[in-house]
A = this chain, B = another copy of it.
Amino acid sequence: MANTVKDLGEFALIDRLLAAIHRRLDGIQPPFGSRIVVDAGDDAAAWRADNITQLATTDTMVEGVHFFRSTTSWRDLGWKAMVSNVSDIAAMGGLPIHALVTLGMPPDTSVSAIDDLYAGMIDAAQEYKFRIIGGDIVRSPVTFITVALTGATDEPPLLRSAARPNDLVAATCWLGSSAAGLRLLQHRRSVPQDIFNRLADAHHRPKACVLEGRILAKQGVRCAMDVSDGLVDDLSKLCKASGVSARIDASHLPIEPALQAAFPEDYTALALVGGEDYGLIFTAAPGLMERIVHLLPPPTAVIGSIIINSPGKVTVVDASGRDITPAHGGWDHYR
C-alpha cells in the first residue's frame, strides 16, 4: 500500500483523484446550458456556453500563512479552498461552473491526506454544483492549494464600484463567527461544547452565499462584494472602488448568539474585523433595499449606509450614534 505521494507516483495519484471526481460529480449539470466537450486529462479542458457573461477568479491557501494543520483538517481545508473561490463568484451574482485545482506539496505527503483534501473539495463541488475539470500537482517544499474557478451569470455582474451615496449597506451572513472559531481552536477556553462546535464549524465549513448573490442580481442590485478579510477591511475596499465612504451601526451587525456567549466583551470587534465569514455585503438605494432585504434568508440585515467622505473611509457608530471607529489598525490583534 502506497502511503505517500512519492510512493504512489504522480500518475497513479492523478488517476485516483479523477476517479473520485467522476464518482461523485458526474451527474452534475452545469448552469446556463454549459456543457463539457473535453474533460480533465487532456492538455486543457473544453466547454461551450452561449449568451452568458463568464466569470473567473482564483484564490490560494499556503500552509503556515492561510492555514495551520493544527487547527484545520485536510477535508475542511479542501472545502475552504473551494468556498473562498465560490464566494468570489457569488459576489458577482454568478453561479460557479468549473474549477482547476493546483496542489503544491512535499513528496512525503500522505496519499490519505490528498484523498481527504480532494474529498473536501468535492464536498464543495457537490454543494455548489460545479465541476472540477483539471489541475496540476507539483512538488513543493511547502504545501499550497490554488483554485481557479470559472462561473457565469445571465445578469449584469455585481460590482464593488457601484455603491452610491445614500445607499444602505447590508450583510448576508453572521459576522465574526469564523474568527471566533479560530480563536477557540487556537486557545481552548471554557465554553459549552455546543457553542464550541458551532463556532468551530463556522471556521471550518464557511458557506458561500450563492443563492443570495443570485437574488441580488435578479432584483436589480448592482454593488456587492464578499467578506473574506473582515467587514471593515472589505467594506473599505468597496468604498474605495466606488469613491465613497460608509458608516456602520455596530448595534445592527448580524452576530450570532454563540459568538456573543463565547466572547461577551469582544464580539463586536470580532464581527467588525474577523475574516473568512464569506457572506456578501451589498448596497442598494433605500427603496430597493427595503424590498429586497425581506427576500433574503436570515441573518441578512441592514448594517449601515453609504455617505460622502474620503473614499474608502469606514466609520463605526454604536447604538447611541457615538463614533467608536478604531484608530488605524487598532483592532488588528483580533485577526
Give me the interface of A with B, judged by CB distance under 8 Å. Answer: 37-38, 41-60, 62, 64-66, 87-89, 91-92, 94, 98, 100, 102, 104, 133-136, 138-142, 144, 146, 148-151, 153, 157, 159-161, 225-226, 241
The distance from the CB of A218 to the nearest CB of chain B, in whole angstroms, is: 17
Contact assessment for A100 and B48 in the assembled complex, using a CB-CB cutoff below 8 Å? no
B104 touches A60 (CB 8 A): yes
Q: Is the interface of A mostly helix, strand, loop or mixed?
A: strand
Given contacts A100-B58, A136-B58, A141-B64, contact A48 B52 (CB under 8 A): yes
Most chain B beta-carbon contacts within 10 A, residue among A87, A134, A146, A226:
A146
Q: How far is the CA of A59 from the CA of B101 in the complex (A)?
A: 10
Number of copies: 2
- Cross-chain pairs A/B with CB under 8 angstroms, 13 sampled: A42-B160, A44-B57, A44-B89, A46-B53, A46-B55, A49-B54, A56-B134, A56-B150, A58-B102, A58-B136, A62-B138, A65-B138, A100-B148
CB distance from A130 to the nearest CB of B (A): 13
Closest to A55 in B: B44
Is A104 a contact partner of B62 (Cβ separation < 8 A)?
Answer: yes
| The one of B56, B92, B151 that contacts A100, using a Cβ cutoff of 8 Å | B56
**Given A52-B48, A157-B37, A146 and B60 touching (CB < 8 A)?**
yes
For the complex, give the distance between the alpha carbons of A54 and B55 in Å.
Answer: 12
Tell me the smallest distance from the CB of A139 to a CB of chain B, in Å: 5
Q: Which residues from chain B contact A65 at a C-beta distance below 8 Å?
A: 138-140
- B43, A140: Cβ atoms under 8 Å? no
